[in-house]
Structure 1
Amino acid sequence: MKQMIKVGLYGAEFFARHGYYHEEQILGNYFTVTIEATFDQQHPDLNDDLERTLNYEHLHQITGRQMKEVKQLLESVAQGIADEVMAQFPYINNLAVEVKKLNPPLKGRVAASGVTVYVNAG
């Protein structure tokens, strides 16, 4: 029987300077990132071994690096995270990377705007 594993990082918060408008890149804003990845169980028994699974600490580190690279579009931010995750963990079958900008500079109160990139690799 084939088993799938899903690993997630939910609502990781970062301060970054992404935005289309110059003011957004100067002032910065808070963003949250959620990542969900599925993959085939690589070994019949994981034996509680961190090296045999997708490490969500690595997902957080990848996201932190990507959030430091200022981009105009949330799509570009999410795609950059997805690309680096897939490069480091090529055995992932499905990946979803959601980036939300908290309190975006819009007329009226908006909790967040967001983009999700989906990768189906297998």
Structure 2
Amino acid sequence: MEWDKIKIEDLEVFANHGVFPEENVLGQKFVVSAVLYTDTRKAGLEDELSASIHYGEVSAFITEYLKSHTFKLLEKIAEGLAEEMLLKVEGLQKVKLEIKKPWAPVGLPLKTVSVEIERQWHTAYIALGSNMGDSQKYLDEAVKALDEVRNTKVEKVSGFITTPPYGVTDQPDFLNGCLRLRTLLYPEELLKELNRIEKEAGRERIIHWGPRTLDLDIIFYDDLVMEKDELCIPHVEMHKREFVLEPLEEIAPYKRHPVYGKTVREMLEDLREEK
């Protein structure tokens, strides 16, 4: 979806940021520009400010954030501000920030130094599985743990299904499910959180496809196609696994695979026809 834009240009803020101690004590001017990506359709039809993002309130939010923190780097200011805006400003889907430092202490005749970033909400689908101990409890606690990550929100959870083991068949049946979450984390950061939650549930990676208390896998992340040694998105085996596709079809039947072009429902139907 192409979002509408609300622009704030060259908001001046006097604040205390910089690598040098005197910058933190004396302070200096920073100039902030922001592009707020949102849906202005309702506000445009109803002519009501409550249906849109209040740029005055956002300007005050930016000013307060810069004044109430002290950081060394422009990069840190931009990253922290973008995250706070996405978490706190209702209706904000994506933000583009440029933070300029007109009085940068470099001892050379330059007009300004700036950092520009774009950050946004992402949608990820996570597969959950367990076949050791109280599997229902492990899955429920994993959903809760993900929802408690500060910059992540679980939006929808499938029902859990009992399925036979995959790969190594000499082990108990699995309880499987899928969830959709909204996150500001990058894929590798999200994987790190999943691994942390697995470890806290007592997961030990001893036997490939072996029994485990908790298994969490990224199936989709927006429409990203990514191939790294430690992480492949979409999950490379997802189209072959009914225990992934069945609960995923419950919450995202028309989500389309960015490589194969088929919806989750179509992939599930194809897999069942092959049996």
Q: Would you call these one fold, judging by a TM-score over 0.5?
A: yes
RMSD across aligned positions (CA): 2.0
The equivalent of 1:84 in structure 2 is 84
How far apart, in 2, do the equivalents of 1:3 and 1:25 lie? Answer: 40
Specify the code of the residue in structure 2 equivalent to 1:38: Y
1:20 equivalent to 2:10? Answer no
**Higher relative strand content:** 1
Specify the code of the residue in structure 2 equivalent to 1:87: L
How many Å apart are 1:118 and its aligned residue?
A: 0.8
How far apart, in 1, do the equivalents of 2:109 and 2:10 lie? Answer: 20
Specify the code of the residue in structure 2 equivalent to 1:75: E
Q: Under a length normalisation based on structure 2, what TM-score does the superposition of the two structures give? A: 0.41
Contact 1:3-1:41 within 8 A present in 2 as well: no
SS class of match (2:94): strand
Counting matched residue pairs gives 121
1:71 equivalent to 2:68? Answer no
The equivalent of 2:118 in structure 1 is 118
How far apart, in 2, do the equivalents of 1:96 and 1:23 lie? Answer: 29
Contact 1:46-1:52 within 8 A present in 2 as well: no
The equivalent of 2:104 in structure 1 is 104
The equivalent of 1:39 in structure 2 is 38
Specify the code of the residue in structure 1 equivalent to 2:32: V
Following superposition, which runs of at least 4 residues in structure 1 exceed 4 angstroms of deviation?
none
The equivalent of 1:49 in structure 2 is 48
User: Which of structures 1 and 2 has the bigger CA Rg?
Assistant: 2
How many Å apart are 1:40 and its aligned residue?
A: 2.6
How many Å apart are 1:46 and its aligned residue?
A: 3.5
Q: Under a length normalisation based on structure 1, what TM-score does the superposition of the two structures give? A: 0.87
Q: Summarize deviations over 1:59-111 as a string: whole Å, max 9, x none.
A: 11111111111111111111222112101235333211111111211121111
Structure 1: gaps spanning 5 or more residues: none
Identical columns (%): 25
Specify the code of the residue in structure 1 equivalent to 2:92: I
How many Å apart are 1:42 and its aligned residue?
A: 5.4
The equivalent of 2:4 in structure 1 is 5
The equivalent of 1:30 in structure 2 is 29
Quick one: higher RCO (CA 8 Å, sep 6+), 1 or 2? Answer: 1
SS class of match (1:33): strand
Contact 2:6-2:36 within 8 A present in 1 as well: yes
Over 3 Å counting, the alpha-carbon distance change for 1:90 and 1:61 in structure 2 is: same
